[in-house]
Structure 1
Amino acid sequence: MQNNRLLSTALAALFLTGGLLPATGETPEKSTVQLRLAKAATYTVDPAQSTISWNAKKVTGEHNGIVKMAKGQLTLEGTKLTGGTFVADMSTLRDVDKGEANPFNERLVNHLRSDDFFAVEKYPTSTFRITSVKPIAGARTGEPNYTVSGELTMKGITKTQTFPATVNLSGDVVQATAKLSVNRIDYDIKYRAAIIGTAADKIIDDTFSLDLKLVATKTPL
């Protein structure tokens, strides 16, 4: 009699808690994956608050400028960055060190947009897609806390880039900053259409730097 009461109690507990397996017959492994995915959140990049600044050096000096962000998103699981993609509008490429009113500015910008450099008419956007994110152990506040790797595509050419990044989450807003050095030779960027590596081509440095600032807000479900 006592055994029957214990069995009845156990069966009632299983019924009330949904049994040992997840509802609808899902396996524990599948339920765990779904729970993990449910924690992932997408943050939409705000182009108005995000910036891409560039610096390029040459024999006689250097130039600084900007390119505007077109769109993008970052993915976080909880507070951890896991992925993302952003797109730059190459038609917005500008030089800022000479001033907008300087006649040289327009000539320089037009040259940068030409086939000698970024061939903007043919390739109006550049993209970066994150493929790997590794937290930096012991990172202090304000210092890079991730090592990011991804595919940077310019002029239709895709190459892997790896760089440190600082990512902070505050409420529903993520801010990410990073600086990376890009080898122009990887993307067939050459001076006056010269053969890469010749004296004429060496007037400009082989690398240029990009300073990135992304501000993204959590996308409503």
Structure 2
Amino acid sequence: MKKNVFTLALALVFGATAIAGPIDDDKKEVNTEKSTVTWKAYKVTGSHYGTISLKSGALMFDGDKLTGGEFVVDMTTINTTDLEGDSKGKLDGHLHSDDFFSTASNPTSSLVFTNVKADGKNSYKVTGDLTIKGITKPVTFDVSVYGSKATATMKVDRTKYDVKYGSGSFFDNLGDKTIYDEFDLVVDLEF
């Protein structure tokens, strides 16, 4: 009788496991305090760069293989680091305004990985849905993972997210006031 009860218990445990399906990927929360997001934007007469903070984020793994990710950026923290004083205040204010990211009405942006393909030992080609100002568009970028750190670099065409101020693609005769459509993001994550 004890053997039958034990056999029944094993059958229930292993049967329930089989019904439950495969174990979910390992989700690793990103340390938002130690992670950085740096932006760089270009204009005819030079460039500006700065930082923006992650509000939350996680990477998903199957063993040591990257399988997914999701991030929320706090747009209210957009900050210029190459300027000081009045120039910095003016540019920071302009970036928060409706000419650029409308941070009062769009305080966050997000990125959700939709496809991850290994592209080498520690590198991946990732496609994801990037949402800025409530507009979602696909982006493709590279991610490298080493231990508990990851780095991603991407180019973003701001005009796809209704950020057209100073764009030569939409306005004529801007001359040296033209701001290029693409800006760079470099993301260094710790998890």
**Scaled by the length of structure 1, what TM-score is found?**
0.75
In structure 2, which of residues 169, 172, 180 is the aligned counterpart of residue 198 of structure 1? 172
Aligned to 1:179: 153
| Counterpart code for 1:157 | I
- Structure 1 residues 212 and 197, CA gap change in structure 2 (3 angstroms): same
SS in 2 for 1:185: helix
Unaligned runs of 5+ in 2: none
SS in 1 for 2:52: strand
Aligned to 1:114: 97
Q: How far apart, in 1, do the equivalents of 2:96 and 2:81 lie?
A: 15
Q: Spell out the pairing of 1:88-107 with structure 2 (5 A cutoff).
A: 88-99=73-84, 102-107=85-90
| Counterpart code for 2:160 | D
Q: Spell out the pairing of 1:127-138 with structure 2 (5 A cutoff).
A: 127-137=110-120
The CA deviation at 1:74 is 1.2
SS in 2 for 1:111: helix
Moved beyond 4 Å, runs of 4+: 15-19, 192-195
Q: How far apart, in 1, do the equivalents of 2:20 and 2:144 lie?
A: 28
Q: How far apart, in 2, do the equivalents of 1:148 and 1:193 lie?
A: 27
What do residues 3-44 of structure 1 show as CA deviations (whole Å, max 9, x unaligned)?
Answer: xxxxxxxxx8xx69959x9536838xx72873x315x21111
Asked if residue 63 in structure 1 is aligned to residue 38 in structure 2, the reply is no
Q: How far apart, in 2, do the equivalents of 1:161 and 1:91 lie?
A: 22
The CA deviation at 1:196 is 2.2
Aligned to 1:207: 182
Deviates more, 1:41-50 or 1:196-205: 196-205
Aligned to 1:123: 106
Q: How far apart, in 2, do the equivalents of 1:195 and 1:23 lie?
A: 64
Asked if residue 188 in structure 1 is aligned to residue 175 in structure 2, the reply is no
The structure with more radius of gyration? 1
The CA deviation at 1:199 is 3.2
SS in 2 for 1:191: coil
Q: How far apart, in 2, do the equivalents of 1:205 and 1:197 lie?
A: 12
The CA deviation at 1:154 is 0.2
Unaligned runs of 5+ in 1: 1-11, 217-221
The CA deviation at 1:194 is 9.3
Asked if residue 42 in structure 1 is aligned to residue 27 in structure 2, the reply is yes
Query: What's the % identity of the aligned pairs?
Result: 36
**Scaled by the length of structure 2, what TM-score is found?**
0.86
- Structure 1 residues 17 and 70, CA gap change in structure 2 (3 angstroms): same
Q: How far apart, in 2, do the equivalents of 1:22 and 1:162 lie?
A: 46
How many residue pairs are counted as aligned between the two chains? 187
SS in 1 for 2:34: coil
